[in-house]
Structure 1
Amino acid sequence: MKNNRQHSIDFLRGLVMVIMAIDHIRDLMLTSEITQDPTDLATTTPFLFFTRWITHFCAPTFVFLSGVSAYLSSRKHHDWESTKRFLITRGLWLILLEFTIIGFGIWFDLQFRSFLFQVIGSIGMGMILLAFVFKLSPKVLAIISLVLIFGHNALGLVPTFENPVLKFLWALFISPNLFPIGADHMVMVMYSVLPWFGIMLAGFVVGRLYELDPLARKKNLMTLFSFTFIAFVVIRAINIYGDPRPWTVQANPFFTVLSFVNTTKYAPSLLFTLMTLSFALGVLRLTDGMNNAVMRFFSVYGKVPLFYYLLHWYLIHSLTLLMVFMQGFTWESLEFGIFKFGRPATGSGVSLGGMYLVWIGVVLSLYPLCLWYGKYKASHPEKQWLRYL
């Protein structure tokens, strides 16, 4: 049972990590990215919409599996104080990485003019919060998770704050916002903590299923998949609550379907969460007990997610600069600054098809490094610091 569980969890984590690279390559290299919103149904194409939409499943799945892994780790070590200490130190480490090594990998800006609080920082904050509640009963944790996931959208009715401290705290925990620091620096809170913490808690609760026998686990995963998927379809169809962006009838049925699934990620709405977690639960159910070549391939990335995450940003950004120089631009043409990746404002980039070729190259080139590090980590359990990378 242990190996089957490991394969399915590592496979799903690796799958979404690989898909995630599509989004980051699109951000940095796609020709139209500077001027076109891929989810704007008035201007997008089906292929461009799908390119963005498929990556929506990455962050919530990754956060959810962080909760699952936190539970399994706590049960493995049977030491509450050690688990609490690890969650806090791991959380602080992730937040530090977010604003240093990861931040530089995203922007390549030596002046650090852009501070982006996104998924790694939010997971870090979630782990710190989890350290203070993980010993509560599963029922209480499940209730907290459901309140955060189902009730978060109701907070949109709260009037905006004018006090800068309250405004920042509201962004940090509830709803994303931008905060200028002088004329040359900016903080952007994209992954407000509490709705993502609700997803992490859901994973922590679901982690208990991996103590059951395989048949019981599969039955429970199927039940949870059915609930989340049906709840998404029904609540979305009613079109009253669950997402700040209602779906609308479009010029043709296909684009109406796109409107239906075009849910809000920042902050993750109820419908966004139900849509994406149904995928995660469905894949966990489908692959439970399986072990084949495809699963082993993706598991290589899933076993070393943070290692892969750090490397892929630096590789993608280096390729972006190489692309710009190959297209005839000089160093003086590069634009760095607040939320600028270094690309010139116009004239650079690759097509959507070219972007997918870059994606395949990036993923395959990182495979040997991830395979090596995964083996190194597994063969050196005495090196506790490896748990942080």
Structure 2
Amino acid sequence: MPNAHMPASRIASIDIMRGLVIILMMLDHVRERFYMHVRTGDPIADTIEPDLFFTRMLTHLCAPVFIFLAGMSAWLYAHPKEGEYRSPSRFLFTRGLVIIGIEIVLYYLVWADSFPNYLFLQVLWAIGLCMVALSLACRLNYRVIGGLGFLIVLGHNALVPINFEPVELGYIPWAILHDGGELGQIGPLTISLSYPSLPWFGVILLGYFAGPLFAKSTSAITRRQWLIGLGASCLAVLLVLRGFNIYGETIPWSVQETGIETVMSFINFTKYPPSLDYVLLTLGIGLLLLAWLETVKKQNGLLDLMQTFGSIPMFIYVLHLYVLLAAYWVLYAIFGATHGERYGLDSVFWIWVGMFLLVAVHYPIAKTFAAYKHREKSNKPWLSYF
């Protein structure tokens, strides 16, 4: 599955998977920008129509797959196909701080028009904090890293009963690690955190632990067998835990009036923080998709697009948020407020149309920047952060 525009050192299936995540993220951000008049909730509200429910559920793949691949990429950075081991600590630490900075500054500016008095610490905060933590954890024994990742992902749901009141000493640390919520105020600005870092740290550790699957010494057949086995195991464990409402999700599922509503109840998982069932579903699907991408031998236009996006994810992430902001104000100027005080789309169909338009607008820009990055990265190290 070669792409002539990509360096030979890049792994096509990982870039394509990351590109798919970016496209789904665009879908979710179109929903957030233009469909704010219909709140989805967490877990998703019972009153949501199926088309919006499954659109939202599809975008749930983004954060866990992206963070898992970030851990995997860290292992690959430390173990290049040609050359000796190099510590990823410095790169992870600085990259994590840069990503946190992007969250605090650039992401706030995107939403300042809607929430001028709130600074939301979301997915980039979690990724950045996890990278900083991984810069320390990567010094541990490889098996300890894997064991710690499994312990956190499998066990953090047992911590749900632990909580602190805002006036208690442990409130802010626990909000950052597990519960989320408002952290406090800086002048008129309220700091609110929706991505607690502890569960995501477990995911990035598991990604690092899975890195050897893409080592030069691992054959494609072996890698695919492991990916299928791990993905199927995640979904099998999910069926047992969720099927009998044993563990892994705070809200049990139940049989509803219709089959589609029953399916919605069964897969309606908590994202903030990510429950075990949520992680099992999303990583299970993600691992199976990676296994399928191992079998794709011929590049086509769609795969080229996803691989291009996946090779420059941070650039596309930041750019598309500002394109969406500009598009919103253009449409608001033309049509005015259509839902309350805001301009909004009238159906989920138009969310999907907006996503396809966003992809089409960004692809030529992405190709140009990707070519520049891969050509100049050795001379301009800052490009590696994009």
TM-score by structure 2 length? 0.90
Match for 2:21: what amino acid? V
How far the C-alpha of 1:135 sits from its partner, in A, is: 2.9
CA distance in 2, matches of 1:251, 1:373: 51
- State how far apart, in whole Å, the 2-side matches of 1:347 and 1:295 are: 36
Give the match for residue 361 of structure 2: 365
Please say if residues 44 and 268 of structure 2, whose CA atoms lie closer than 8 Å, have aligned partners that are also in contact: no
Q: Would you say the 8 A contact 2:336–2:343 is kept in 1?
A: no
Instruction: Report the Cα offset of residue 41 of structure 1.
Output: 5.1
Alignment-derived partner of residue 40 in structure 2: 37
Do the aligned residues in 2 keep the contact of 1:142 with 1:202 (CA within 8 Å)?
Answer: yes
Residue aligning to 1:195: 199
Deviations 1:37-91 (A, max 9, x none): 376554221111111111001111111111111111111274545x211111111
Q: Deviations over 1:206-248 (max 9, x none)?
A: 1111111111111111111111110111111111310112112
Change over 3 Å in CA distance of 1:114–1:314 after alignment to 2: same
Q: 1:128 to 1:21 in 2, by over 3 A?
A: same
**Aligned residue for 1:336?**
none
Q: Greater CA deviation, 100-109 or 166-175?
A: 100-109
Q: State the AA in 2 paired with 1:318.
A: A
Query: SS of 1:179's equivalent?
Result: strand
Distance 2:328 2:166 in 1: 39
Matched, 1:94 2:99: yes
Shift in CA distance, 167/362, structure 1 to aligned 2, threshold 3 Å: same
1:252 and 2:258 equivalent? yes
> When the two structures are superposed, what TM-score results if normalisation uses the length of structure 1?
0.90
Partner of 1:383: 380
Indicate if the aligned counterparts of 2:99 and 2:128 stay in contact, CA closer than 8 A: yes
Aligned length: 372
Match of 1:350 in 2: 345
Change (3 A) 1:289 1:347: closer
Instruction: Provide the secondary structure at the position in 2 that maps to 1:132.
Output: helix
Change (3 A) 1:67 1:347: closer
Once the two structures are superposed, what CA deviation does each residue of 1:324-351 show, in whole Å capped at 9, x if it has no partner? 111135xxxxxxxxxxxxx974463112
Moved more, 201-210 or 134-143: 134-143
The equivalent residue for 1:216 is: 222
- CA gap 1:322/1:87 in 2 versus in 1, 3 angstroms: same
Name the structure 1 match of 2:64: 60
Distance across 1 between alignment mates of 2:326 and 2:357: 13
Q: 2:299 aligns with which of 292, 300, 308?
A: 292
Work out the CA distance in 2 between the residues paired with 1:181 and 1:228: 40
| Aligned sequence identity (%) | 30
Cα shift readout 1:168-202 (whole Å, capped 9, x = no counterpart): 11011111112342784221111111100111111
Give the corresponding residue for 2:28: 23
Q: After superposition, what is the alpha-carbon deviation per residue over 1:252-276, rounded to whole angstroms, capped at 9, x for unaligned?
A: 1210111101111000000000000
* Cα distance change, pair 19–263 in 1 and its aligned pair in 2 (3 A): same
- Contact kept, 8 Å, 2:199 with 2:274, in 1: the verdict is yes
1:303 and 2:311 equivalent?
A: yes
Q: Give the corresponding residue for 1:127.
A: 131
The structural deviation recorded for 1:286 is 0.7
Residue segments in structure 1 that go unaligned for 5+ positions in a row: 330-342
Q: 1:347 to 1:382 in 2, by over 3 A?
A: closer
- Separation in 2, partners of 1:179, 1:92: 19
Deviations 1:312-369 (A, max 9, x none): 100111111112111135xxxxxxxxxxxxx974463112222222211111100011
